Amino acid sequence: MKLSLVKKVWSWLIALLGLWEFGDIAALFVPDFGTIPAFVWNHIIVGLVLMIAGIWAALTRKAGTAKTMSRIAGAASVWLLLSSFILRYPLIGVGVWNDLSVGVLGVVLGILNVNR
């Protein structure tokens, strides 16, 4: 079964969310921010997972593979939502809002990609 254009666009949006989150790799070079390794590494790993899952889902021709990648992206997004509270990040207001925004968008796009 061939993937629809809408699903491919949603998959590319997931990949872009991952790129945004992976962009925290630059934080390793920002004074005082890189001293929070769990915070930084969580963003880098989740961003990488979202990028790989989104790109893979967008480029595959198999609907089943795209659904699996969308589920992985959704699970990574749920982790991003929960990790702010589980890892007990310091209160960095903008960072927490960024995680919540990316997490919610990732979950929504993942669900839409699986169910449509």
**Which residue ranges make up each domain of the chain?**
5-115
pLDDT, residue 46, reads 94
Distances (CA, A) of 34 to 24, 55, 66, 87, 96: 9, 28, 34, 16, 16
Identify the pLDDT of residue 104. Answer: 94
Instruction: Give me the pLDDT at residue 33, please.
Output: 59
Q: Give the pLDDT band of residue 86 (cuts 50, 70, 90).
A: confident
How many Å apart are CA 9 and CA 95, to the nearest integer? 26
pLDDT band at 40 (very low <50, low <70, confident <90, very high): confident
What's the predicted TM-score (pTM) here?
Answer: 0.86
Instruction: Please state the rounded mean pLDDT for residues 64-92.
Output: 86
Q: Average model confidence (pLDDT) for the chain?
A: 85
